[in-house]
Amino acid sequence: MVSPVGLTAGETWSAITRGQSGIGPITSFDTTDFEAKIAAEVKGFEPTNYMDRKEARRTDRFIQLAIAAAREALDAAGLVIDADNADDVGVVIGSGNGGIITLSEQYEIMRTKGPGRVSPFLIPMMIVDMASGLVSIHTGARGPNFCTVSACATGADAVGNACEVIRRGDAKAMIAGGSEAAIVPIGLAGFASCKALTLRTDAHASQPFDAERDGFVMGEGSAVLLLEELEYAVQRGAPILAELVGYGATGDANHITQPIEGGEGGVRAMRRALKQAGLQPEDVDYINAHGTSTPINDKFETQAIKTVFGEKAFGVPVSSTKSMIGHLLGAAGAIEAGFCVQAIQSGTIPPTINYEHADPDCDLDYVPNSARCLPVNVAMTNSFGFGGHNATLLFKKYEQ
């Protein structure tokens, strides 16, 4: 992981369990004329730790973050890609916005200096699949290579689709996740214009499920998981952290930005994931919610959980880690999948910080403000995106 609260998975998880916020005033550009002025930026990231200076200049930030996360995942898993296994290892890393930083910069160059001054690297720096492409080039993975784009469900869909590649026998291992770096003037202005962002300016601005929530906080970062076919992982002595046992994806067919009434699309995604896993709602010990801190999403996601879980909904801990790292957009589903794995590994459920005012429409156990130590055998994560995309992943404790 590369996140607003850490440059590695370990740093990030430590901060998350402490309830540390990565949200603050935007430092990458002047926000004087903007309504929204805060974000969850990655701090202290140095791309030349992962590539030489020349390549870094020719690579958008979202790609750099993905390469860093992918390298950490491979190192942690002890997987060396070589001539013997390269064809059996694939990559699927998605992004919601791709190289929007580069596109913004190069458009300004064209406007002020003319089209002849536009960088020949604009297209490979901008297109959304290039995080997946360059991770393949950096690692040598020659198996299936593609990206997913499903707005804020992108990262979860990447992980889910990577699993399906392995299921159908097209790869033994998949480097899977999401990456996003969209904190630029046009990105901030666009989300603010559609009334999705909070206009608060303090670190407590991301308030999932709180009665005073008024919008999400943009975040950036990357998260990558290494998925392996079980026999392959056991054979090479891999450190197995969890099993991905269920993936459900649905569409609302309703509205370009708003979820369908009652979160019905999310209901179907959760049920599909449970069915694929062969599990019942009562088997789930923790839900990492989409929990964006927007009035409609949090209300409808709460309704959806209650529809799927019935009375059990009131007994299962539900938290939104977006309260600490903001909304990583296309990377959100991937980093939240990682949090589910870490919750299973550590027996620690991350909190929803900034929860102060109860909302009658949001009446579940949101693990307010402090982490909770509880055994987690099965963890679920939800991701919902503009366009009516819904994705749910289910992870289970691995038992030999």
Name the residues annotated as catalytic: 152, 290, 327
| Per-residue tokens: 259 | 């979820």
Give 190's contacts (C-beta < 8 A, 6+ positions apart).
Answer: none
d(CA 143, CA 170): 8
Please check whether residue 95 is in contact with residue 128, taking contact to mean a CB–CB distance below 8 angstroms. yes
Give 115's contacts (C-beta < 8 A, 6+ positions apart).
Answer: none
d(CA 307, CA 72): 38
How many other C-beta atoms can be found within 10 angstroms of the C-beta atom of residue 106? 19
Place of tokens 């791309």: 47
Beta bridge pairs of residue 176: 92, 225
Place of tokens 């930005």: 257
Give 4's contacts (C-beta < 8 A, 6+ positions apart).
Answer: 22, 23, 40, 41, 42, 43, 219, 220, 221, 324, 325, 326
How many other C-beta atoms can be found within 10 angstroms of the C-beta atom of residue 357? 11
Element (H, E) at 145: strand 145-146
What value does the CA radius of gyration of the chain take, rounded to a whole number of Å? Answer: 20
